[in-house]
Structure formats: structure tokens, C-alpha cells
Amino acid sequence: MQLIDLSRELHHRAPAPHMHPPIIMGVWNDHDEIKQAGATRFTSKSWALSLSDHSGTHVDAPCHFNPDPRAPSIDQIPLEDFYTEAICLDLSHAPLRHEITVAKMEEALVRSGQQIRPRDTVLIEMGVNRRLWGTPGYLHDFPGLHVDAVHWLADRKILMFGVEAISPAPEGEANYKAHLACAARGITHIECMWNLDKLVGKGRFRFIGFPLRIRGGTASPIRAVAVLNEQG
């Protein structure tokens, strides 16, 4: 069995889209402070964190873009939805700022030799981290899905899809159309993933990405993991 970490590191002032606040981390307790309980002297260290529920590698809840008061928040989604079978499609050569069409998704699926099954998680490697991580373009120049490609995935009854970029579709109107399509079709997506290039050509695998139990949360950071050769 092999575990591949698909989560981006959380750290102070990690890159964040303009609609969400950055991660702020600071020392709350440190080992240079001597504490005492009775006759016992000790030190301890802890951090204080301030962050959006859309920080780092995270999964959106339906209520993020669906105004229906019945739309589930992150704590209302069954845990089974975050422990699924998965495949990864290779679209790593999509041009920057490009909207990936249904035709290109179909071609990538054929190349993968896999099928999309109901309740799958579909991860989409677009070469975002390889080309943009550590540059200003990471927040602006990423490719993503055309809204028709979102519907194409929903038609296959997936649970969610995942991308390395900060949004599922290119910056601007395309991004909001993709979010609204997810809300309308009852699927969701994961943003800011890592190491998707390590899953290309690996066939089917187990995906694990449990959210925090945030009451009323519109999203949650997750520790996303791919489990390869699960029976090995």
C-alpha cells in the first residue's frame, strides 16, 4: 500500500484568493515561558491560527454557492462522500487561463484507460503547481473546466472533482459559472490540491479527504490522501 499526500502545506500568509482572508499563524505559547502546576515546572508550545474555511487544500460545501437554506453545510455531508474510489485525468498541457472542454475531458478519459463510475472522485491534473506555484500567476493564470465539462462530470454521477488551482475554472466569470453548476447539480469540488502528477497513469485508487466538523461551514480544509495498491 502506498499513500500519496495530496494536500498543500498550511503556513502563515499562504497564497489565498482575494475573496478569502489569508492564513495568519502566530505563537501562543513557547518553550521560553516556564509554567508551573503545583510543584511541577514545564514548558509547552502552541500556535494561534486565524483562517478561512476555504484555506489550503479544501472542499466546498453545497451551501457555499447554493442559497437554498436546505443546502448542506460541510458538517452535514455524509463522511462516506469523502472516502471514495477515484481516478486522475491528465490535462497537464492545457494552456494557462484556458477553459477545458468536454471533448478534451473525453480524450483524457480515453487515454487513462479508466471509466468514471457513480460516486467517484475525479482528480484533474492541469500542471498548475508545476507551472505556477511560487509565482504571482498562481492566483490568476490557472486553467480550469468549462462549465459544460462540470455538467459532463455531474452527468456521470460523481461525488466531487479536484484540482490544484485555487478555483475549478479560470479566473472571472468562468469560475462563478463552474461553482454555480456544482450547486445546481449537487456535486462539489476540492481546490488547492498537491501531487496530482503522481497519480497520472495509476488507474483506480482510494481517495480520502475528510473535512473538519465545522458547524455551518461553507467549506473545510482537508488532509487529502490517495491510497494506491490498497490490497497490497
Q: Judging by DSSP bridges, how do beta strands 58-60 and 188-191 pair with one another?
A: antiparallel
What is the rounded CA–CA span in Å between residue 118 and residue 227?
19
Contact predicate 211/82, CB 8 Å: yes
Question: What is the model's pLDDT at position 137?
Answer: 96
Per-position pLDDT tens, the chain of length 232: 999 999 999 999 998 888 899 999 999 999 999 999 999 999 999 999 999 999 999 999 999 999 999 999 999 999 999 999 999 999 999 999 999 999 999 999 999 999 999 999 999 999 999 999 999 999 999 999 999 999 999 999 999 999 999 999 999 999 999 999 999 999 999 999 999 999 999 999 999 999 999 999 999 999 999 999 876 4
Quick one: cell of 228?
494506491
Residue 59, strand partner residues: 190, 220
Instruction: Return d(Cα 164, Cα 128) in angstroms, integer.
Output: 6
Cell of 222: 482537508
Q: How, if at all, do strands 188-191 and 205-208 pair? A: unpaired
Q: Are strands 46-50 and 160-163 parallel, antiparallel or unpaired?
A: unpaired
| Predicted model pTM | 0.94
d(CA 83, CA 90): 22
Residue 178 backbone dihedrals phi, psi, to 5 degrees: -65, -45
- Spatial contact of 211 and 59, defined as CB atoms under 8 Å apart: yes
Amino acid residing at 20: H
Please tell me the CATH superfamily of domain 58-228, with its number: Putative cyclase (3.50.30.50)
Place of cell 460545501: 61
Angle 201-207-213 from CA coordinates, rounded to 5°:
155
Q: How far apart are CA 213 and CA 100, in angstroms?
A: 33
Tally of CB atoms within 10 A around 4: 16
